[in-house]
Structure 1
Amino acid sequence: MFENENGSLTVLKTLTDTLADSVNGYRDAAQHVEAAEFRQLFTQLGDDRNQALSDLKAEVARLGGSVDSDGSTLGYLHQRWLDFKASVTGRDDKAIIDEVERGEDYLKDKFETALNADSLDPATRAPIERAYASVRQGHDRVRDLKHSLEGQSVGG
């Protein structure tokens, strides 16, 4: 998946794109949930993801890569953003939390795949591992929230 002659840079660009999706997804979820506690959680997790994104962008720059996305990547991210927004608009809090948790599973998988890539430079591994710690923590919080709400009727 990530293997090529620019291994670490390719991994980082994939992860920064995916983290940008996560930041946007959390911001959108925070705008659409009814419960203030969920809004606060999603805002906090979005801020955490934004920090992880900044750290990985700094590593891209350190490796000489461009931190700006190209047009095709922006188009892809924009479409994913619209898809996420359409999936949460008009739904209740539990449905939004379910969608966020699904996105968290996807993001966690991307990071685990990246950390298992043979092409990953050892110097680049540390910032990815730090970002992954944030991703894993957010994933677990949303997963636990989803499970705590199963069987309950939640806002919307």
Structure 2
Amino acid sequence: MATETTDPIDTLHELLLFVNDRIEGYKRAVEETKDHELQGYYKQLVSQSQQFASELNGHLRKLGGEPETGTTLKGKFYRGWMDAKALITGSDEKAILGSNVYGEEWALKAYQDALDDKTLPAAIRTAVERQLHISEKTHKKLKKLEHSHS
């Protein structure tokens, strides 16, 4: 995705699409889970993701770009597929966790792709690296939770 000639505005827009997917995915998990502990964790992840989006949109505005509030087409299709699957099989905690692990893997890739853009200003690069580090911790915790629900 990102190359040496990428515009930082385009890179931030692309990353924000995935961060916004993350928000939508965790909102869905809050609604679907029956586990109150997991529900609280998912609510924290919604809030965290909204903070990430707010921070990245702030950088985007400073660069002269418009805020990004959309999501990826792939994310929309995936959430639709998960809705259809839940209607047929019902939602269970392992499936919800698995969906969140999968979504987090896509977010991690988006962060890595953004960091491949060598034109990102230092302050933005630092913010993206920090968000990536937090997302990596989230991914590990979700995988651990998924394993414990086996």
For normalisation by structure 1, the TM-score amounts to: 0.82
The alignment partner of 1:3 has SS state of coil
Structure 1 Cα separation of the partners of residues 143 and 28 of structure 2? 18
Structure 2 Cα separation of the partners of residues 51 and 87 of structure 1? 30
Note the alpha carbon deviations across 1:101-121, whole angstroms, 9 max, x for none.
111111111111221333333
Structure 1 Cα separation of the partners of residues 107 and 43 of structure 2? 17
* Amino acid paired to 1:134: I
- Equivalent in the alignment of 2:97: 97
The alignment partner of 2:95 has SS state of helix
| Structure 1: runs of 5+ lacking an equivalent | 151-156
Aligned Cα root-mean-square deviation (Å): 2.2
Structure 1 position 4, deviation (Å): 6.8
| Structure 2: runs of 5+ lacking an equivalent | none
Greater Cα shift, 115-124 or 50-59 = 115-124
The equivalent position to 1:85 in structure 2, one of 83, 86, 91, is 83
Structure 1 position 78, deviation (Å): 4.4
Structure 1 position 35, deviation (Å): 0.9
For normalisation by structure 2, the TM-score amounts to: 0.84
* Amino acid paired to 1:111: Y
Distance 1:115 1:4, change over 3 A: closer
**Where do residues 28-43 of structure 1 align in structure 2 (5 Å cutoff)?**
28-43=28-43
Note the alpha carbon deviations across 1:46-97, whole angstroms, 9 max, x for none.
111111111001011110001045xxx5683644543443344522111111
- Equivalent in the alignment of 1:153: none
Distance 1:74 1:95, change over 3 A: closer
* Amino acid paired to 2:149: L
**Where do residues 10-25 of structure 1 align in structure 2 (5 Å cutoff)?**
10-25=10-25
Structure 1 residue runs of 4 or more that deviate by more than 6 Å after TM superposition? none
